[in-house]
Amino acid sequence: MADRDRNPWHRFLALPNESRVKTIGVAFLVSAVSAAFVSGATVLLRPIQSANRAAEEQARIEALVENIPGIGSLLSQAGGTLSTLVVDLTSGRAADGVTPATLDAALSDPANWSALEPEADLAGLGQRPDFAQIFLLRDGSGRVSLVLLPLSGQGYGGRLDAILALRGDMNTIAGIAITGHSETPGLGARIEEASWQASFPGTELRDTAGEMRFRVARGPASGVHEVDGITGATRTGLGVTRMVRFWLGPDGYGRLLDAIDRGEF
C-alpha cells in the first residue's frame, strides 16, 4: 500500500473540486493574495500620490503669483521660481527636521498641534498646526519680496481655505486665492470670484501704530485697511476677516513675519 502523502498542501489540492473545504480554502487564498497586492500597491503609490499633490499645490501657488498685478517683473528677476520651506509657527523660524516631504507625517502626530484658547481662536479652528509650509519670492538682492501663506478658518457654511500673498513690507496684501469653501452659492460663495478677490491688492493689514485693522467691509471698502464686502454675505465676510487677523497675528504667522521683516530669511 502506497504511503499516504503527508504534505498538507498536496492533500488540499487532491480534494475534489466540489469539496466545501477546498472551495472555502481557495476563496480565502484568493482574498489573502488580493489584499496583499492592494496593500503593496498602496505603499508603492503613496509617494507618487504625495508628489502629485505637491505638484498640484505648487502649480496653484504659481498661478496665484502670476495673476497678481506687477508680480511678473519680480518673477522674471527671480527666474520665475518660488522657494518653499516649512516653518515652526511657535518660534517663527525654519522648522528643524520637518520638510515639505515630511510635513504630512509630522502633522499626523497630535503632539505637533497647539490648542487655542477661546479668546485667541479668532478663526474658529480649535487648534493650530505647529508647522506650516510657506512660499517665498526674492528680489535681485536676495531679500524677500513676496511671501505666500496658507490660511484656514470658519465661514458661514463651514471651513474656509485660502492663500494670502504679502508684499515685502509684510503689511501690504498683494493678492488672495480662495482654495476651498462651503459657502452659499450666489452669496458667500462669491468669495471665489476674481472680481471680489481683486479688491485685496494694496490693502494694508496694520495702521502706523502696528494695530491690526484689516477687515471685510459690510459694503464698499472705505479705507486702506478694508476690502469690499459681499451683499447678503456678512457672516462670510466676518469669517474672512477673522481668518486673516488670526493668521497674521501672534498665534499664526506673526513671529515669522517679524523675522522676515528683520531680514532673517
The C-alpha cell at 127 is 487648534
Residue 51: the pLDDT is 63
CA distances from 228 to 12, 44, 93 (A): 76, 48, 34
Residue 35: the pLDDT is 76
Candidates 54, 62, 117, 115; CA nearest to 86 is: 54
pLDDT in tens, the chain (265 residues): 455 566 776 776 677 777 777 788 777 878 887 777 777 766 676 667 666 666 666 666 666 666 655 555 555 655 556 788 899 999 999 999 898 888 989 999 999 999 999 999 989 999 999 999 998 888 777 888 888 899 999 888 788 888 898 988 999 998 888 888 877 777 878 788 888 888 898 999 999 998 999 999 888 888 899 988 888 888 888 889 999 999 999 999 999 999 988 888 8
The count of residues in the chain is: 265
Considering just the CA atoms, what is the radius of gyration of the chain in Å?
A: 27
pTM of the predicted protein model: 0.72
Residue 245: the pLDDT is 94
Residue 88: the pLDDT is 94
What whole-number distance in Å separates Cα of residue 38 and Cα of residue 222?
58
What whole-number distance in Å separates Cα of residue 256 and Cα of residue 247?
11
